[in-house]
Structure 1
Amino acid sequence: MKIKVLSTVRAFITRFYRSFRREAHLSWQFIGGDISASIIPGLLFMVAAWKTHPTDVLDFVLVMGRGIVYFLLYIVPFCVSNQIVGVEEDRINKPHRPLVKEVVSLQGAKVRWVVSMVLFTLFGWWFGVLEWALLWQACIILHNMSSGSKHWFTKNLFMGVGAFAQLAAAWQLVTPITPVAWQWIAVLASVWLMLAAVQDLRDIEGDRAIGRNTFPIAFGETASRVVLSLGFGLLPLVTHIILMMPAGNSWNVYLCDVVLAVISLSIAARIVVYRSILADRKTYMLFTYWVCSVLASAIVVI
């Protein structure tokens, strides 16, 4: 009897491990391309918040553990719902995605979306950031499941509001939001609102095929590239005046200024010089690295 019980337990653990590993791999296929725009920025801003009220190492580990759980649940429902409604578009723009490759069924993706939304609500409540979780969920529904992503204005608006909810939750997961933190949150959300259209340069063909009116389609690719390039060209001035100058004059502030300026000006140049789909994908990823860099700067200067 004892041997039979042990065999049953062993078989259960094996099945559970295989299912967990498959689910983790599938989740990565859904969210892998968005880590630098979601999980990493959130965790970096949490570190900046913790640095303003440092505690012991164990507390830091627990705080970051909450952050990993929260921001995994932050990005999963967005990516899954975005890919549920964008299968035909992804056949053109992103054929590597799991629904296009039929790694998972459409019904299976819908179940995962519902489960992740419920878990995100519960953990948002448990961690004390329910208001920001609900705001992001509203953005997910309006952007992906409604017609919000069909027009450039609402598409960019929901990305800006989403960044606001992301960073507000990140700081509040650690400590109450301060005026300085609000300033950083407002600047980063505004950057997403005004410059996130850089991500649409890579997807023009697929967006046009499904009737999505993104910024480059609405105003023309050349004009959009000029406007976005000017925006990124001016960005170092904005971050210097609003974020860096209040931190005072020190070598670490100047270093952050230089790093952010180099990345931003590189993006500005790439937008007008390199015009292939592959190049535009790399340019967008460079933008997400700028986001991570400015939030890493917050750890240094706040």
Structure 2
Amino acid sequence: MQLTIGLLRSNWTAHCGNSVACLSTRFFSASCTPRDLVGLLPGVTIITFTFSYSFDIANQAFSVEEDAINKPDRPIVSGRLAIEGAYARWFLSWIMFPILTYLMVDSSAAIILVLWELWITVFYVWPKVDHWVARNIFTALGAVLQLGLLDALLSEALPAYQVNNSLARLLFFWLIMTIHVQEFHDMEGDRATGRRTLPLLLGPRGQMVLRATTATVMVVTAVANLLRARMFWGGSTHSMPADIIGLAGCHIASMIIAAIRLITMRWKEADEVTYKYYYTLATYMMLLFHANVEEYTGSYESFVY
């Protein structure tokens, strides 16, 4: 159990946060009751675990040199898990998890998990695509696949549920534009292992420009989303429902806070907190705002896409 926790710890906030964000925003279109939620929790927990573990075991088995610098407390580099044991866990989990997903959900969920394993293989095993654009695409498509797993679970558990792809499009394009926020706190290890991440390619001066540009994208996205939402209520904020106004405030505030931290707090530990907590929260508030506006209006195209 301790080894499993150690394997999952560093990325659990992102994977679990994405799962919670996507699932909670789906409730508006799924018309879930508290009883439905309780019934879904075991399936959501297992899906989140299998998705996260499938990535982390492969990632850490093939990133030992980088982890020795960036994350020395991980099980493999700290000596708590032999590399042979990691390979065995990787092999067994990638076979068992799709079968488990098939039994718990359906064949579509199992196929999505297999696609996730293939996607991981391309980036971390062979041919190990190493380009900053590809890294952004990897995370963006991975998040969409995780959303697809949750959609499969909801469709199986709630017959009246209908999949809406607008949230997936929003999440994909948002991550394409901003997920390089995760690269700042790993620059030391990435530099040592020769990884071509965007901050390293730009150099020290370009990194500040990248931070400022990304922060601007965050704030502009939030403001533009609010302005577009206002159009459904005659262009007046006063005509908007109180809960939408409250969510808009949280959406904008979380983006501004994440943006300020990204520009002003530029050391490794702060960058890690900014990514894992503030950026994740800002992304969640954006999705929640989008889902609520869409529930009121029946259709809502976010500024992001």
TM, length-normalised to structure 2: 0.82
Q: 1:62 to 1:115 in 2, by over 3 A?
A: farther
Structure 1 residues 270-281: aligned runs within 5 Å: 270-281=261-272
Q: Which amino acid aligns with 1:229?
A: A
Contact 2:18 2:143 in 1 (8 A): no
1:204 is aligned to 2:214: no
Show the 5 A alignment for 1:259-298.
259-285=250-276, 286-297=278-289
Q: Which whole-Å CA distance do the structure 1 matches of 2:130 and 2:42 have between them?
A: 36
2:14 is aligned with 1:31: no
1:151 aligned onto 2:143: no
**Residue correspondence of structure 1 range 60-139 to structure 2 within 5 A:** 60-126=37-103, 127-128=105-106, 129-139=109-119
2-structure distance, mates of 1:230, 1:55: 36
1:42 to 13, 16, 19: 19
Q: Cα deviations across residues 138-158 of structure 1 (Å, max 9, x unaligned)? A: 221112213545211111111
Match of 2:303 in 1: none
Give the CA deviation at 1:112: 1.2
Taking the aligned partners of 1:278 and 1:151, their CA distance within structure 2 comes to 24
1:233 aligned partner: 219
Asked if structure 1 preserves the Cα contact closer than 8 Å seen for 2:28 and 2:292, the reply is no
- Work out whether residues 58 and 90 of structure 2, in 8 Å CA contact, stay in contact via their aligned partners in 1: yes
- Structure 1 range deviating more: 86-95 or 57-66: 57-66
Q: CA deviation at 1:242?
A: 6.5
Residue 253 (structure 1) aligned to one of 226, 231, 244: 244
Greater shift in the superposed pair: 229-238 or 209-218: 229-238
Q: Figure out how many residues of one structure are paired with residues of the other and give that number.
A: 278
Q: Is the 8 A contact 1:216 1:224 kept in 2?
A: yes
* 1:61 Cα deviation after fit: 2.3
Q: How many angstroms apart in 1 are the aligned matches of 2:152 and 2:232?
A: 22
Residue of structure 2 in register with 1:168 after alignment: 148
Asked if structure 2 preserves the Cα contact closer than 8 Å seen for 1:149 and 1:212, the reply is no
Separation in structure 1 between the aligned mates of residue 224 and residue 95 of structure 2, nearest angstrom: 38
Evaluate the alpha carbon distance shift between residue 34 and residue 292 of structure 1 in structure 2; reply closer, same or farther with a 3 A threshold. Answer: farther
Q: What is the distance in 2 between the residues matched to 1:234 and 1:72?
A: 34
Question: Within 2, Cα distance between the matches of 1:90 and 1:177?
Answer: 42
1:46–1:173 Cα contact (<8 Å) kept: no
Check conservation: 2:262, 2:274, Cα contact below 8 A.
Answer: yes
Aligned residue in 2 for 1:224: 210
> Which deviates further from its counterpart, 48-57 or 103-112?
48-57
RMSD (Å), alpha carbons: 2.5
> Secondary structure of the residue that 2:48 maps to in structure 1?
helix
Alpha-carbon shift at residue 276 of structure 1 (Å): 0.7
- In structure 2, the gaps of 5 or more residues are 234-238, 296-305
SS in structure 1 of the partner of residue 154 of structure 2: coil
The 3 A distance-change label for structure 1 pair 205 and 273 is same
1:189 match? 172
Secondary structure, aligned partner of 1:99 = coil
Could you tell me which amino acid in structure 2 is paired with residue 152 of structure 1?
W
Any unmatched runs of 5+ in structure 1?
1-23
Query: In 2, distance between residues paired with 1:83 and 1:91?
Result: 10
Query: Structure 1 residues 275, 228: closer, same or farther in 2, change over 3 A?
Result: same
Cα shift readout 1:204-233 (whole Å, capped 9, x = no counterpart): 111011110001112232232222222222
Identity %: 23
- DSSP 3-state at the match of 1:208: helix
CA shift for structure 1 position 135: 2.5
CA contact (8 A) 1:45 1:298 kept: no
Q: What is the aligned counterpart of 1:215 among 182, 198, 206?
A: 198
Structure whose CA Rg is larger: 1
Amino acid at match of 1:212: R
Q: CA offset at residue 235 of structure 1?
A: 2.4
Distance 1:118 1:241, change over 3 A: farther
